Amino acid sequence: MASSDDPKEKLTREENAEEPDGFLGKIKEFVHDVGEKIGDMVDFGKPTADVSAIHITHVDTEKLDLTIDVLVTNPNPIPIPLVDINYVIESDGRKLISGLIPDMGTIKPHGSETVPVPLKLIFDDIKSTYTDLKSGTVVPYVMKAHLIVDVPVIGRITIPIEKTGEIPVPCKPEANLMKIKFNDFSMEETTATVHLRLDNKNDFDLGLNFLEYKIHLGDIDIGGARISKSNVIAKNDAGTLEIPISFRPKDFGSALWDMMRGKGMGYSINGSLEVQTPFGPMSLPFSKEGGRTRLKKVDDDDEDEKEE
C-alpha cells in the first residue's frame, strides 16, 4: 500500500502547482483576468460629502435638538455603505459635544442621498463645564465631522466636513404683574385687565404667538387661560401685555380693601410663551412668586408708571 507521504508523489503535486497550466495557476490567472476586466470597465471614484442644511428641531431653556443634513454623493456603479460618522461641535476652540453614529445606511449607485445626523445639546451639562456660558446668549459654533465609507477596490476612506453657525442658549423671560385695572366693580364678579410686563433677557427678539398663564391673587386662584397674542419683544427689552380676567372680590375678604386703598396685594403668576425667533419656534416658561400689585380704576392716572 502506497503511503501519502511518498516523496515521488509529493514532488509531483508541487510541480503541478507550479506549472502555469496547473489547477492553482488557472485560478490565479482567472482572478487576475477578472480584476483587469473590472478595472477597465469600472472607474471607481471617491464619494463626496457636504452639509446641505442645519435645522434646530426643538429648543427650550433646557436643551437644543439639532439635525445636520449631510449630502453624500456616490459616483460608483454599486452601492457603498456609510460605516460611521464621528463628530464634534466646538465654540471658541472648546468642545461642547462629541460622539459617533455607527451604520448610517447605504448610498445608492450614481446618486446622492441626504443623511440626517441628529444631535442634542443639554445646556446644564455644557454650563457645568464652561461656567462663563450664560443663558440668553447666542453662541458661535464649528461642527466638524468625519464620514467613513467603504468603497470597493479603494477600501475605506474618510471624508471630512465642516460647518459654522450659531445656536441660542435661551433664557426664560422675567414676569411682573404691574397692575390690575377694572371697569365695572361688583362684589359678585368683576371684569378687569391685568397689565403683565415681560422682560426679554435674550440676545434675540421674541415674536409672541400664544400666552398661557395662571394667576393667584393672595391665596385665591383667579384662574388662567391660553390666549393668542401677537407682539414682538425686542432683544434685551421689555413689553407689556394686557390680559382680560374676571374674579369675585368678595372671596378676598379684607385683603381686597387694602388693595383698593393702594396698599397692594400679593400675587403669583406662572405660564409659558410660544414665540418665534431667528432660530425657530420656542416655548419659554415664566413665573413670579411673592410679587405685589395694585387694583385701579381704568380712568386712574398712572403718574408713577410708564405704560408701553
**Exposure of 297 in the CB half-sphere (CA atoms within 13 A):** 7
Residue 118 φ then ψ, to 5°: -85, 135
Helix pair 7-18, 23-41: axis angle to 10 deg? 20
**Between these two residues, 191 and 306, which has the higher pLDDT value?**
191
Mean pLDDT of 48-74: 92
Q: What pLDDT, on a 0 to 100 scale, did the predictor assign at position 11?
A: 44
How far is the C-alpha of 306 from the C-alpha of 295, rounded, in Å?
17
pLDDT of 76 reads 87
Class of domain 174-297: mainly beta
Are 168 and 284 spatial neighbours (Cβ–Cβ below 8 Å)?
no
Contact in structure between 75 and 153 (CB atoms under 8 Å): no
Q: Compute how many other C-beta atoms are within 10 angstroms of the C-beta atom of residue 81.
A: 14
pLDDT score of 43? 61
Query: What distance in Å separates the CA atoms of residue 299 and residue 237, rounded to the nearest whole number?
Result: 27
Would you say 157 and 149 are in contact if contact means Cβ atoms under 8 Å apart?
A: yes
- Residue in this structure with the C-alpha cell 365695572, named with its chain if needed: 184
Domain residue extents for the chain: 48-168, 174-297
- Average of per-residue pLDDT across 55-64: 92
Confidence of residue 265 (pLDDT cuts 50, 70, 90): confident
pLDDT tens by residue, 235-246: 999 999 998 888
Instruction: State percent of the chain over pLDDT 70.
Output: 78
Average pLDDT rounded to a whole number, residues 107-112? 90
> Does 48-168 carry CATH code 3.40.50.720?
no
* CA proximity to 182, closest of 302, 296, 305: 296
- For residue range 162-210, what is the model confidence (pLDDT) as tens digits? 999 999 999 999 999 888 887 777 777 888 888 999 999 999 999 999 9
**Burial of residue 39, with CB atoms counted within 10 A of its CB: 0-12 exposed, 13-18 middle, 19 or more buried:** exposed
Identical fold between 48-168 and 174-297? yes
Instruction: Express each pLDDT in 1-22 by its tens digit.
Output: 444 455 555 444 455 445 555 6
Give the chain's mean pLDDT.
82
